Structure 1
Amino acid sequence: MEIDVNSAIITEDDWRNPIINYLQYPTLPSEKRVRIMALNYLMWNGDLVQKSKDEVLLKCIGKKEYMKVMGETHEGIYGAHQGGRKMCWLIRRYGYFWLTMIKDCIDYSKGCEACQRHDPIQQAHLVPMNLVVKP
């Protein structure tokens, strides 16, 4: 599966900006939170990549790119309408990362219209009503 996200344009409200600025110009003043986060990232051929715990480099992508990646993974040519956690696992396996990855994948899979139509309907078992008597 090949997803082209090389035409990424970093906008001002992108989550990657503070980290990229710190990695490119470490002598400029920056927040402590950014300096700590930057320990897990590096610049590779002009792209921000995350060093994962299992020694794999994951390309960090912005909102436009990750919406495209989630759409291709969930509904694309090989997409099997996976659930949120499985979709997140697949995207990491393809080599992509963003901060709110698990939450976004779960929200995307819950919002898929085809998944909602074909998902089995869960019904609560019928239970007789019991009166509650106030003492």
Structure 2
Amino acid sequence: MGSLKLEVLDKPSIDEPFLEIFLTESERPPSWMDPFIDYLSKGIEPTDKVIATRSHRWATLYTVRDGKVYRKGRSFPLLKCNSLEKGQRVLLSLHGGVCGNHAGARNLAFKALRTGYYWPTIEQDAKRIASACLKCHQFANSPLALSVPLSIIIAPWAYCQWRLDFIN
């Protein structure tokens, strides 16, 4: 009659863990973006005046579109704000993934910005990932400095030639 097709998946078809997909807003852990979302979309200000002034000043750098936070970049149009955990995954995939080139910390952070992502600790995270990579340290350029300083050695044949000239 008809044939039955069977497909076997050797890896998950989704990137995010199962629990992360089905969490509701109240069950999610707090993020660094929550004060900006509250201030920009709902108009909720912190009760402390110092923190309210600071969040008002920093909120001018961010915008909320469709419930997602974006940072207004200087050289880039809008950078998608990530949580710190997702930022770690972005840096790891950029550093050693399929297109990874095991770049240094500054290059890695700038590559994440060029890709369109932002989070506040991007530079520190890039330094930590680049310094913890074993392949980067294993195949790094070694300095060409000698372990002992050079010493001056007078060539013996020049001394002999001088002596022969002196004797004659």
Q: TM-score range by the shorter chain?
A: 0.7 to 0.9
CA deviation string 1:18-44 (max 9, x = no partner): 111111222x33221111111010111
The structure number with the bigger radius of gyration is 2
Question: Higher relative contact order by CA 8 Å / sep ≥ 6: 1 or 2?
Answer: 1
Deviation at residue 53 of structure 1 after TM alignment: 1.2
Determine the structure 1 residue equivalent to 2:59.
38
Q: Secondary structure at the match of 2:64?
A: strand
Evaluate the alpha carbon distance shift between residue 38 and residue 124 of structure 1 in structure 2; reply closer, same or farther with a 3 A threshold: farther
2-structure distance, mates of 1:43, 1:23? 7
Deviation at residue 49 of structure 1 after TM alignment: 0.2
Determine the structure 1 residue equivalent to 2:157.
none
Determine the structure 1 residue equivalent to 2:119.
98
Deviation at residue 103 of structure 1 after TM alignment: 1.7
Q: Secondary structure at the match of 1:105?
A: helix
Evaluate the alpha carbon distance shift between residue 108 and residue 47 of structure 1 in structure 2; reply closer, same or farther with a 3 A threshold: same
- Is residue 58 from structure 1 mapped to residue 79 from structure 2 by the alignment? yes
CA deviation string 1:53-91 (max 9, x = no partner): 125100000122111100110000010101111111111
Q: Secondary structure at the match of 1:59?
A: strand
Which structure 2 residues correspond to residues 57-96 of structure 1 after superposition, within 5 A? 57-96=78-117
Identity of aligned residues (%): 25
2-structure distance, mates of 1:103, 1:126? 36
- Is residue 20 from structure 1 mapped to residue 37 from structure 2 by the alignment? yes
Deviation at residue 126 of structure 1 after TM alignment: 3.5
Q: 1:107 aligns with which of 121, 128, 143?
A: 128
Deviation at residue 127 of structure 1 after TM alignment: 5.3
Q: Which moved more, 1:93-102 or 1:29-38?
A: 29-38
TM-score normalised according to structure 1 size: 0.79
TM-score normalised according to structure 2 size: 0.64
Q: Secondary structure at the match of 1:50?
A: strand
2-structure distance, mates of 1:23, 1:11? 20
Stretches of structure 2 lacking an aligned partner (at least 5 in a row): 1-14, 47-51, 151-168
Determine the structure 2 residue equivalent to 1:11.
29
| 8 Å CA contact retained: 2:76, 2:114 | no
Stretches of structure 1 lacking an aligned partner (at least 5 in a row): 129-135
